[in-house]
Amino acid sequence: MNYFSSKFKLGILGGGQLGKMVLYTTRKFDVYTCVIDPNKDAPARLACDEFMVGDLMDFETVVAFGKKVDVLTIEIENVNVDALEALENEGIKVYPSSKTLKTIQNKAHQKLFYVDHNIPTADFSRFAYTSEIDEAVENGGLSYPFVWKSTRFGYDGQGVKIVKRYTDLLDLPNVECIAEKMIPFKNELAVIVARNTCGDLKTYPVVEMEFHPEANQVEYVICPARIPDEIAKKAELVALKTAAAFEHVGLLAVEMFQTEDDEILVNEVAPRPHNSGHYSIEASYTCQFEQHLRAILGLPLGRTDSKVAGVMVNLVGAEEHTGNVVYKHIEKIMAMDGVTPHIYGKKQTRPFRKMGHVTIVDKNIEKAREIAEKVKRTIQVISE
């Protein structure tokens, strides 16, 4: 099929920053794109060929949108999977598949999938309601501390809480959830696996993620991860095994823990371009967004190695600031060597909302990390 400067249409469910960055590549290749998002001011609205406002969880809306395109992909997991299944049954190509999304959308199902496929993951208990956890603790089936996770609709630190004592449970929503064993770990790692429709596979280098202690959001992504080669190889093999189990087409970001005794445990996956791959726009031979497009269109996969070391800093809304966004001192960080800001186009900021990211590249990873720290201290995402 001719995808370029042709009648071919690519549909994207979701018009957030990930969709916007996929459109960097569709613009480069002149691939016709249709995007749907519930927000009329979604970041991707300006870069696509057709933009629609619609509810991604509404069956009829998603089916109607999907029938207009030749290949359908996502930039957010919270979409109507029954609609995707109906579209697949009508011959529309949907990547990731409805089957994959159905498993990943529910964290309990995702964890059971790992157990069924012998993929290493932290021990967990499953509960229909948060209120059942207290009884499990009393009966000795569960002990503090543990990690509480809502099975549905968690993202960017939402729907996750470390529970150290009974009182930590009181403010949690009474929903289906899992209680995961606390894992003492040295590092949080991630590997992005690309697989195209022909079954060709490539992995990006292992990255190391540093988290904000309060917001439970990634603050820095460091590529390459500062770990021994044998640990990197182990993480890569676990990521490949996970992607193979899902028979995934597109990108699969596999987030992992490196435990104190150097075991690799899968935390969770995302079947799309991911925060842990943003560094690749500046640092890699093929950025993750181009690779996702190549994969879902069945094109040859690009090189995944890095041209240079890269560190990504998330730009999130400052605490106590809500309203029209201002990027204070952005010109100061742009004066630093190897620094590139990406602004997502969200006009309103609020505490810890992802508003953009900054990539820092350098031949030396430690130098890049130092500049990243300076960037973090300098730029402020505040309101007017």
Binding residues for ATP: 107, 149, 180-183, 188, 267-268
Shortest CA distance to 339 belongs to which of 382, 282, 301, 288?
282
Binding residues: 107, 149, 180-183, 188, 267-268
Three-state helix/strand/coil letters over the chain: CCCCCCCCEEEEECCCHHHHHHHHHHHHHCCEEEEEECCCCCHHHHCCCEEEECCCCCHHHHHHHHCCCCEEEECCCCCCHHHHHHHHHCCCEECCCHHHHHHHHCHHHHHHHHHHCCCCECCEEEECCHHHHHHHHHCCCCCCCEEEEECCCCCCCCCEEEECCHHHHCCCCCCCEEEEECCCEEEEEEEEEEECCCCCEEECCCEEEEECCCCCCEEEEEECCCCCHHHHHHHHHHHHHHHHHHCCCEEEEEEEEEECCCCEEEEEEECCCCHHHCCHHHHECCCHHHHHHHHHCCCCCCCCCECCEEEEEEEECCCCCCEEEEEECHHHHHCCCCEEEEECCCCEECCCCEEEEEEEEECCHHHHHHHHHHHHHHCEEEEC
Q: Answer yes or no: are the C-beta atoms of 148 and 169 closer than 8 Å.
A: yes
CA–chain centroid gap for 356, Å, is 14
Instruction: Give the closest residue to 284 by CA, choosing from 199, 192, 187.
Output: 192
User: How crowded is residue 82: how many other Cβ atoms within 10 Å of its Cβ?
Assistant: 12
